[in-house]
A = this chain, B = another copy of it.
């Protein structure tokens, strides 16, 4: 960490600050210039609050050199983490395909979809029982009933289940769920993250609408610092001024995050683009960029889907996408 002090700082003020840093276990290296003095802080700065430091009158700016995430950091954990999701592995060369409808609607819909996506090569079933919707007047999901239907689909196919949680009070309902998803809008719902950190369930953590990669990693750190190492990251597009696509799919985040962290990273081309016609090229691109898996919306009849129909694939389209993705995997 580097603290730049204003040239109005007195010797005494500087020396007091240096003493305080040393009391925090840090080694301080001082460098005086014409316009400022620079302090180089060496040691474990994770617990140093940069906001507090920048609040000091003599401080001009503070820059972290080492990243503030620790448990998620590849520097301290060089090998890839492999997460076991109800028997299906992800990370470290294991590639997972999570497919299914945006919302669970009926037993028939979810069981039929589970069978179809399994036949087409999916390794996990996704489906929303609790649905975060921008409008209170839009369909909010089947809730508890949806969880039951997902478990029936699991029984029928053996596919592990991925589904979203919105409230830690619902955790008991998720006991037999294999992977708990945290949606983009809850990426910084720190109370929820901490509650999930106290379980040992695999957590699929989706990047927030306007979250930086660092914030995504800090949210993973919230889960991991409570004791749960089973975090899977998910790039699902970020918000920009572009309107042809629903979000801007930040695929560079995949190899970038791979450098920064050992956690597996999944890509969601359905939410990232919002357009069925873009899923195939973007699923291939995400795979080529190094993703450890994909999350793709599939529906028996997308035109009639209760939510997010525009971005859902038919069974036939999903099969075609999956074959194309497998070809890409073949050359990696």
Interfacial residues, chain A to chain B (CB-CB below 8 A)? 2, 4, 27, 29-36, 38, 40, 42-43, 46-47, 49, 51-52, 54-57, 60-61, 63, 65-66, 68, 75, 132-139, 166-169, 185-186, 188-191, 194, 208-210, 212-215, 218, 221-222, 225-226, 238-245, 248-256, 259-260, 272-273, 275, 277-278, 281-282, 284-290, 302-312, 327-328, 330-331
Contact = CB atoms under 8 A, between A and B. Distances in A.
12 contacts: A2-B2, A2-B4, A31-B42, A40-B40, A49-B138, A55-B312, A185-B190, A238-B240, A238-B248, A240-B250, A259-B277, A281-B290
A307 B255 contact: no
Contact of A51 (B57, B244, B304, B310): B310
A98 B36 CA distance: 36
A231 to B, nearest CB: 13
B40 A33 contact: yes
Contacts of A288: 281, 284-285, 287-288, 328
B135 A68 contact: yes
- Residue of A4, A250, A285, A310 with highest tally of chain B CB at under 10 A: A285
Contacts of A302: 55
Contact of A167 (B191, B215, B278): B191
A31 B36 contact: no
A309 to B, nearest CB: 2
Contact of A2 (B63, B254, B273): B63
B218 A242 contact: no
A63 to B, nearest CB: 5
Given A285-B285, A288-B328, A328-B328, A256 B278 contact: yes
B305 A52 contact: yes
Contacts of A328: 288, 328, 331
